[in-house]
Structure 1
Amino acid sequence: MKHILAGLVLSSTFVAHAWAGQPAHIYGVNLGSWLVLEPWMLPQEWLDMGGQECETCSSCIASELSFAKVYPDAINTIFAKHWDTWFMQDDVNTLKVAGINTIRVPLGYWIVEALVDRLHELYPQGGFNYLHQGLSWLKDARIQVILDHHTLPRVQIPGQMFTGNCTTDVQFYTPYNYHHTLVWTAVMTVFSHLAPDFESVFVIEAVNDPITDATKTPDYGTFQKNFVQMIHAIELTLGISVPSSKLFVSVSPSISNNFTAALIATFSATGISAEVQGALLEAVVKKSLLGYIDDGIHSFMDVNYQYNNPSNPADMMIGPQAYDNHGIAAPDPMSYMTSICNFKHIQADAAVGNSPLWFREWGLSTQFDATDKFLCKWADTQKLAYSKSAGWIVCVQLSTLARQWSYLEGLKLGFLTQDPAVLHDLNVCIPYVNSTSDGTSS
């Protein structure tokens, strides 16, 4: 049986060699605004659904939770229509032809409905069935999948639509919500190992975009450690060996089909924390797992994503683990090209054990009016830089803000090459290597 790569957001993403199901090199896109809806990606559809557009997203209907508060009786029907049309079999076929081998699926914690406080959190229900359907299509197309915990209980970063609740009231970094996240992790790990539709899942990513200032994310390092332990505790319970000096346990094959006995054996392991044991027991008691069982790789954002002495997810490693980050650039054409052509992030991460690494949210957006010619160069430059890592994942497969955000539209317009491994210009970076942003040699 496969191992699931654990991804923390510092983003642990890849391993030094290919594990079962992992592409040799990732060419991927995000299913942005499918199961976690981000209104900026589909502004007209959001208005047609009944949402609003405002300068500050906390001041109007600009997130899933604010939408639910206004339309509590209609939200499930409205969102089902969106889920039915935003990502379909034809999209999978198109992505397959385009050479895409990996899809990152952003998920809200509310997709595991047993974790939702329905008195205060009227998020749309029914998304898990659509996840099953989409993963089935991707499995049949032999496209591998990263499950990204994109929105965390009680919000992990302020003022963002993608958290499901655009607010300044950030409460994720508490024992209560870390616990809920570990339960979510247990559920997703079990499904990733046992559900046929989840066969292509090879990574579970822990937290999308935590606050970058580590002083504002108390005990985040402890959560990372417990996240890794949870994935491997599930694997041990399912009879999957976890070779590690950090966990001492052997679940006999003779009891691996008896979940209760196997769970007791797992809990005897040295190194499995009380927090992990408690979260796993809650997942079982709520029957989030037990009903399914009776019938990896994990990923974090890299250590350099945060500042002010963050925890290093490499220190939490037990089994295969990977790391990710976002693309970066300065705010003018020359700086864009120079910063990426002299990109040192991969080497900096490798020096502190955050390898293999991939880049999971890059696109062609700019902070200036870019010509088509520049966008071709900008695409080549980023592909060249990020291809030196374990791979790359473009921000979204589809957006109604198409020209600089949609991978499929970028193909049609010629900014991106049909073969993702190919560049328009192999020498695109030569004029910019070892140059400063003002165009002079350094």
Structure 2
Amino acid sequence: MHLALLYLSWSLLANAAVKAASMPNKIYGVNLGSWLVLESWMLPQEWLNMGGQSCSPCSACIADEFSFAKAFPNTVDGIFKNHWETWFTESDVDTLKGYGINTVRIPLGYWIIEQLVDRQIEFYPRGGLEQLIRGLQQLQAAGIVAILDHHALPGVQTPNQMFTGHCTTDVEFYTEPNYLRALTWAGVMTALSHIHPAFTSVFAIEAVNEPIMDAAGTPGYGTYQKNFVTVVRAVEAALGVKVQGLDNPQATANASQAILNLSSSQNNTRFNNDVTAALRNTASTLVQIASQDSTQFDLERSGRGQAPLVTNFMDVNWQNDNPPNPSAAAWGPQAYDNHLYYVFGGVAAADPNDYMISICNLNRVQADAALGDSPLWFGEWGLPTQFDATDAFLQQWADAQKLAYSKGAGWIFWNFKVEHSTLAGNLSREWSYIDGVKLGYLTEDPSTVHNASVCAPFVNEN
């Protein structure tokens, strides 16, 4: 869309009432990976063209956003602006709409809220929030709803992963200062989702993407889960959204002041020091965002009449070693996320028959529900395998996974697209939803499969 027309459409929308999106009855979605959190393995040639490098481990060279911004401080913003504007476009939105996609999961880094970044020791491109606003406007116009996924956390939540924005073994997310920054991020995103007109397509916020799987390595994570939900609900109550047990209709027309007022309430036993600090930080950050030319919006809004957002966590079965159950944090609508990739091993033997036996007898939806982690959606999955898969198998593999994941709240494919280049090779064959449809592995209607009986020979097999 031409920028002038986009601004006009935003202006018209800004004068309309903000109304939060609703969770679909069944989620048929894709991830917008490598857009606002770039993972260079999915666009290896573009990354080299940008000035990046390729190495293993990824911490050994310029292979992530952190190292890139540190190496090119004077040009990083312009280079990433070009990437953001070309990797996810109006054309992609039209394609996804044509394929019946109703949901996108948008991986985001904490640095999209630039006020949270310590520029003395942390290095990331600026301008991402402006791009998120643009993309959400386009999605809203297409009738596609969104999950804001906190994919890359302050301090890094998982070692040696591009998806954290900083490939490093120095994992410091699970500390008090970084928990607080993440809570502030959640408060800001919650407020924007209720009062910024571009965020009307948002129905859920995910707290943490793929924390360390061993709960012994994530101290304080259970408390963070409860604080996350409390911050979301407190911001909503301050904005006039009806929150059970926290009746605090917005008493001032200014959203930032309303949040600040609630943070100062002396009679609310739900608020510990971290929650109170996060609410105050949220209030001040909103003022700054609202006053910037590229992200400005009207703070004189409320969330009255809107439904609360869905808070979202990786399910309890994501971790081992006595993990905290996120269901204990639930307050209002909450959903759970599970990711399943066979290509990395540990799920089934590396052959087609074992893959099909495993997926056709998958019981994760039932197992999670028994622990209170329901509804469950599968927020990441794909078609890659540990063996050379035939076209015929990939079609079966797609059908079987869709049938298994649809037993829950639905599924979100990783990724919406992957680079086409000599360097990328055949990556897009198994990692790109758009190419999967074009190649015939995935049906054009996401609610259907090629063969509804694809699992019949494998059900109840060992």
Seen in structure 2, the aligned counterparts of structure 1 residues 288 and 302 have a Cα distance that, compared at 3 Å, is farther
Alpha-carbon distance in 1 for matches of 2:289, 2:237 = 15
Shift of 1:262: 6.0
CA distance in 2, matches of 1:186, 1:365: 36
Deviates more, 1:340-349 or 1:44-53: 44-53
Query: How do 1:334-353 residues align onto structure 2 when only pairs under 5 Å count?
Result: 334-353=353-372
- Distance in structure 2 (CA, Å) of the matches to 1:252 and 1:394: 39
Q: Does the 8 Å contact 2:237/2:249 carry over to 1? A: no
Equivalent residue, structure 2, for 1:10 = none
**Could you tell me how far apart the structure 2 residues matched to 1:265 and 1:65 are?**
36
How far 1:74 moved relative to its partner? 1.0
What CA distance in whole angstroms lies between the structure 2 residues aligned with 1:70 and 1:252? Answer: 48
SS in 1 for 2:312: strand
Q: CA deviation at 1:284?
A: 2.2
Residue pair 1:239, 1:256 contacting (<8 A) in 2 also? no
Aligned equivalents of 1:253 and 1:279: distance in 2? 18
How far apart in 1 are the matches of 2:35 and 2:288? 23
For the residues of structure 2 that align with 1:94 and 1:131, how far apart are their CA atoms?
19
**Whole-angstrom CA distance in 2 between matches of 1:64 and 1:257:** 35
What are the residue-to-residue correspondences of 1:7-406 with 2, within 5 Å? 21-243=22-244, 247=245, 249-252=246-249, 254-255=251-252, 260=257, 263-265=260-262, 267=265, 268-286=267-285, 287-288=287-288, 294-295=299-300, 296-329=309-342, 330=348, 331-400=350-419, 401-406=427-432
Aligned to 2:436: 410
Structure 2 contact 250–258 (Cα < 8 Å) conserved = no
With over 3 angstroms needed to count, the CA separation of the structure-2 counterparts of 1:62 and 1:257, relative to structure 1, is: closer
Q: Which protein has greater RCO, CA pairs closer than 8 Å, 6+ apart? A: 1
Q: Secondary structure at the match of 2:436?
A: helix
Cα distance, 1:70–1:290 mapped onto 2, change above 3 Å:
closer
Runs in 1 of length 4+ with deviation above 4 angstroms? 253-259, 288-293
2:443 is equivalent to residue 424 of structure 1: no
C-alpha distance in 2, partners of 1:40/1:362? 17
The TM-score with structure 2 as length reference comes to 0.87
Distance 1:72 1:252, change over 3 A: closer
Structure 2 match to 1:435: 461
CA, structure 1 residues 182+265, in 2 after alignment: closer, same or farther (shift >3 Å)? Answer: closer
Conserved in 2, the CA contact under 8 Å of 1:237 and 1:256?
no
Shift of 1:316: 0.8
1:61-111 Cα distance to aligned partner (Å, 9 max, x none): 111111112211111111111111101001100100100000010001000
Distance 1:289 1:94 in 2: 31
> How far, CA to CA, are the matches of 2:46 and 2:262 in structure 1?
51
Q: For structure 1, which segment, 51-60 or 138-147, has the greater mean C-alpha deviation from structure 2 after superposition? A: 51-60
Query: How far does the alpha carbon of each residue in 1:98-139 deviate from its partner, in whole angstroms, 9 at most, with x for none?
Result: 000000100010000001111122201111111000000000
Partners in 2 of 1:399 and 1:293 — Cα distance? 37
How far is 1:54 from its partner?
A: 1.2
Identity of aligned residues (%): 56
CA distance in 1: counterparts of 2:41 and 2:180, whole angstroms:
31
Q: TM-score, normalised by structure 1?
A: 0.91
Counterparts of 1:20 and 1:120, CA distance in 2: 37
Please give the secondary structure, in 2, of the residue aligned with 1:208: coil
Question: Does structure 2 retain, via aligned residues, the 8 Å contact 1:238–1:256?
Answer: no
Structure 2: gaps spanning 5 or more residues? 1-19, 292-296, 301-308, 343-347, 420-426
Provide the C-alpha distance between the structure 2 equivalents of 1:177 and 1:20, rounded to a whole number of angstroms. 29
Q: CA deviation at 1:354?
A: 0.3
Give the counterpart letter for 2:278 in structure 1.
A
Measure, in 1, the Cα distance between the counterparts of 2:242 and 2:370: 29
Contact persistence 1:259–1:293 (CA under 8 A): no
Match for 1:323: what amino acid?
Y
